[in-house]
């Protein structure tokens, strides 16, 4: 027990500061997603995202993180996470994950969305939809969870119950705590292990981010020391939200509506603090 990292529990006021970062981030992701089209480069998307942060006086928590050179990760097709924006031109049918973060007054938010360029492959659309739905299942589970491990159980159970070709849940990359830093304890697994994990109590803030693939879950990191790709070339999807637990419920800090629309069908009503 003495080797465990301490979890940072937040006050209501601190959660409100994270909410401000979350709203800026949601707007920046809206803009980046809206800019996706054939012919645009991944660097162009980074510029769109950066412009929204600059307009709000917010900082990127990705830029400079262990030397990362951009404000977002853009991972295309077989790239799973940590793709570096650059001169790559998006083409009709590409599937890409845009992962970004924002800092406002020292408090962090982290969120990701998957986008398909044009109509795309129906199986890619299914991949993205199941990944997004799995994220919401994990968030809904947090509302009544006693331990963080309940989130991974819910995600795993949902993904494994879906009809059609099986989808793989990455195990090497998981969600995390978040607050005064982008990555904090505890780890948030996206799969069932039998390990309970940390207790859930008010003040806990988590980034819940399942990553699914259409093939095997083995990955390798490219020579740029960042971009993670599937070893079998199968396509990938990532969805992520930052979620707070407080004394009256949960609140999705990086969703404009706090998560209300997607959580209502799952029997959960998010409870905002005073904004």
Binding residues for substrate: 82, 183
Sheet holding 205-208, edge to edge: 184-188, 175-177, 205-208, 241-246, 249-252
Smallest CA-to-CA distance from 271 within 242, 246, 238, 236 is with 246
Whole-number Å distance between alpha carbons of 220 and 172: 10
Q: Would you say how long the chain is, in residues?
A: 275
**1: which DSSP letter?**
-
Chain centroid to CA 46: 17
- CA separation (Å) from 116 to 46, 76, 92? 17, 10, 8
Phi, psi of 12 (to 5 degrees): -60, -40
The C-alpha angle 210, 211, 212, rounded to 5 degrees, equals 115
State the binding site. 82, 99, 110, 176, 183, 209, 240
Half-sphere exposure (Cβ direction) of 200: Cα atoms closer than 13 Å = 23
State the binding site for a divalent metal cation. 99, 110, 176, 209, 240
């Amino acid at each position: 027990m003495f080797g465990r990292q301490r979890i940072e529990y937040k006050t209501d006021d601190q959660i409100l500061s994270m909410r401000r970062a979350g709203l800026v981030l949601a707007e920046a992701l809206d803009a980046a997603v809206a800019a996706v089209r054939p012919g645009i480069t991944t660097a162009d998307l980074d510029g769109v995202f950066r412009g929204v942060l600059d307009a709000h006086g917010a900082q990127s928590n990705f830029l400079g993180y262990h030397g990362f050179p951009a404000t977002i990760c853009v991972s295309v097709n077989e790239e799973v996470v940590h793709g570096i924006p650059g001169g790559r031109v998006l083409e009709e049918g590409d599937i890409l994950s845009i992962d970004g973060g924002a800092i406002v007054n020292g408090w962090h938010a982290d969120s990701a969305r998957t986008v398909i360029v044009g109509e795309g492959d129906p199986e890619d659309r299914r991949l993205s939809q199941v990944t997004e739905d799995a994220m919401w299942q994990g968030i809904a589970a947090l509302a009544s969870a006693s331990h963080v491990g309940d989130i991974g159980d819910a995600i795993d159970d949902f993904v494994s119950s879906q009809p059609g070709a099986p989808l793989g849940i990455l195990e090497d990359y998981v969600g995390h705590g978040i607050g005064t830093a982008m990555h904090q304890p505890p780890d948030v697994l996206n799969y069932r292990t039998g390990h309970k994990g940390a207790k859930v109590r008010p003040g806990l803030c988590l980034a819940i981010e399942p990553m699914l693939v259409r093939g095997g879950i083995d990955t390798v990191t490219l020579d740029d020391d960042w971009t993670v790709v599937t070893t079998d070339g199968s396509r990938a999807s990532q969805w992520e939200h930052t979620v707070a637990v407080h004394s009256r419920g949960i609140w999705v800090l990086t969703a404009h509506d706090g998560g209300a629309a997607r959580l209502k069908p799952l029997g959960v009503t998010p409870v905002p603090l005073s904004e």
